[in-house]
């Protein structure tokens, strides 16, 4: 775990972007540490079938709603998952070097990190459900 002095700050977040030829949404983070001369980029990919849909079903079940409501739900949850993945990556020491990083979905070789997402999901489930209800009425 990095020390407080070397903790990163998020300078900017862009997204979600729909990646071509992949079933993922991606977010581009620009992060800065006090010890770095310039910010560095982190692209966080959220797998639609393996991360987003799995957690969405656990959060809301088989929810009906308009396409617009479903889009808002997906945006809320995918952005939240991306933020959690940044937290897990920081805890795992994946963001300590001064280089741009691509954080892939937590499947395959990174599947061992998915349980850490589940812990964050369980801890924040009611707050996310309330945010969805407030913004969509679902």
User: Is the predicted pLDDT of residue 91 greater than 80, yes or no?
Assistant: yes
Rounded percentage of the chain residues whose pLDDT exceeds 90: 77
Task: Give Cβ neighbours of residue 52 (< 8 Å, ≥ 6 apart).
Answer: 25, 46, 74, 77, 78, 81
**Residue environment code for 77-108, b if the CB has 16+ CB neighbours within 10 A, otherwise e:** bbbbbbbbbbebbbeeebbeeeeebebbbbee
What are the residue ranges spanned by the domains of the chain? 4-136
Give the Cα separation of 88 and 34 in Å (integer).
20
Task: Give Cβ neighbours of residue 59 (< 8 Å, ≥ 6 apart).
Answer: 77, 121, 125, 128, 129, 132
Q: What pLDDT, on the 0 to 100 scale, is given for residue 35? A: 87
Predicted TM-score (pTM) of the model is 0.91
pLDDT tens digits along 46-90: 999 999 999 999 998 887 789 999 999 999 999 999 999 999 999
Place of tokens 């079903």: 57
Region of poorest pLDDT, from 34-38, 59-63, 121-125: 59-63
| Closest C-alpha among 131, 126, 137 to residue 59 | 126
Mean pLDDT of 30-59: 93
Q: How many residues does the chain have?
A: 138
């Amino acid at each position: 775990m990095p020390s407080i002095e070397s903790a990163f700050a998020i300078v900017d977040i862009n997204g979600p972007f729909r990646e071509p030829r992949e079933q993922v949404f991606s977010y581009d983070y620009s992060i800065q540490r006090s010890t770095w001369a310039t910010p560095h980029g982190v692209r966080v990919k959220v797998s639609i079938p393996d991360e987003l849909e799995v957690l969405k079903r656990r959060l809301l079940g088989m929810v009906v709603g308009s396409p617009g409501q479903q889009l808002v739900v997906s945006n809320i949850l995918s952005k939240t998952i991306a933020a959690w993945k940044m937290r897990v990556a920081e805890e795992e020491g994946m963001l300590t070097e001064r280089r741009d990083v691509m954080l892939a979905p937590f499947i395959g070789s990174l599947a061992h990190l998915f349980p850490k997402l589940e812990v964050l999901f369980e801890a924040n489930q009611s707050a996310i459900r309330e945010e969805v209800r407030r913004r969509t009425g679902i």
